[in-house]
Amino acid sequence: MKAAVAVEEKLVRVLGDGGRVDQGKDPGLADRDLLTLYRTMLLNRLVDERMFRLQRQGRIAFYIGSAGEEAAIIGAAFALEDRDWVVPCYREFGAAYLRGFPLRDFFCQVFGNADDLIRGRQMPVHIASPRLHLLSVSSPVGTQIPHAVGLAMAARIRKLKEVTLVFFGEGATSEGDFHVSMNFAGVFKAPCVFLCRNNQWAISVPGTKQTAAESIDIKARAYGFEGIRVDGNDVLAVYTTTRKAVEKARSGGGPTLIEAFTYRQGPHSTSDDPRSYRGEEEVEEWKKKDPIARFRQYLEARKLWDEDRDMTLARELNDQILSTLKEVENIGPPPPETAVEDVYAEIPWHLREQREEIIRRAARQRQSWPR
């Protein structure tokens, strides 16, 4: 317990207990921005809850949520400009919502239906949007980190003032991709911000088994740049810290590693049962530090929010979720012939032949269906 208290005392914080703001640390966001942050965090939580229920009902195949980590994700993404890039791990849907990724497109991707922008080729929750500068979600642990550094270096070579923000969990810091990327970024001062969501559990592996270092942020020192440890359940602290790192990267000051110390309230994914490796007491203790409830206290202290508004917003968002689900759930699968499309600018002869054969077989199959 003493160790946990010592860890928390070292964290960068803005929000104190009961909605208080530490003296002189308030970032001074406009009221509309504060409400946007809260709305996005609540939307993220409600979508997660609904998707978990759908998976348990057999209506979708898989889902991976971010309950308890909304502040670390959405607070960081809010520090970016539209021209900047987000390179996600697999929990950063809140960043996508914040950037304008439509809920309908997200649900279509989860179902893998005909309106899925990726045409059902990816497993559920693996979204991407070049238009919104959102790179494809990465399943293999850590492989998105070198991609992010490459993206940042490409922007610098092209003399674009773009910054790349890459998300990953603490488990990824045990991968070679993390260390190679950090070293390269440090040497060449890549305009990249590394955001480690340290939710303390890499599936079933606790942080104490992940590294012998006292924290993740100190790993940046070995590569010649700054590391910062922030309270990942404090959306304003995450925003402020990331904003400074983004400004530094944009001005040529090089990368920053931010460790957002938070907690994964739910299972790793719908395929996981965390009760087999962690106690419910630990989970309940962290739920008392819930980032959404904490931010709501701040808004209430600012007279920007109250219980009636909260209930109204929750109803509005749930209605939006349910109506969008009703619209997309019965959309059929992508046409089978799309399996060979979007690979080449011009489909080569051998894939054209395969495409035609797919179309013929699909037609014969439809004719044999009972009427």
Share of the chain above pLDDT 70, in %: 96
pLDDT, tens digit, for every residue of 250-300? 999 999 999 999 999 999 999 999 999 999 999 999 999 999 999 999 999
Q: What is the mean pLDDT of the chain?
A: 94
Residue 9: pLDDT over 70:
no
CA torsion through residues 285, 44, 39, 162, sign:
positive
The DSSP-derived string for 29-56 is --HHHHHHHHHHHHHHHHHHHHHHHHHH
pLDDT, tens digit, for every residue of 14-26? 998 788 898 789 9
Q: Which of 277, 302, 315, 361 is catalytic?
A: 277
pLDDT, tens digit, for every residue of 203-230? 999 999 999 999 999 999 999 999 999 9
Q: Which of 264, 294, 296, 298 is catalytic?
A: 264
Active site residue 268: yes
Active site residue 264: yes
- Cβ atoms of residues 226 and 257 within 8 Å: yes
Active site residue 179: no
pLDDT, tens digit, for every residue of 117-156? 999 989 999 999 999 999 999 889 999 999 999 999 999 9
- Cβ atoms of residues 303 and 309 within 8 Å: no
Q: Which of 126, 268, 294, 296 is catalytic?
A: 268
Q: pTM above 0.75?
A: yes
CA angle 107, 339, 54 (to 5 degrees): 25
**Closest-CA residue to 266 (of 87, 90, 81, 67):** 67
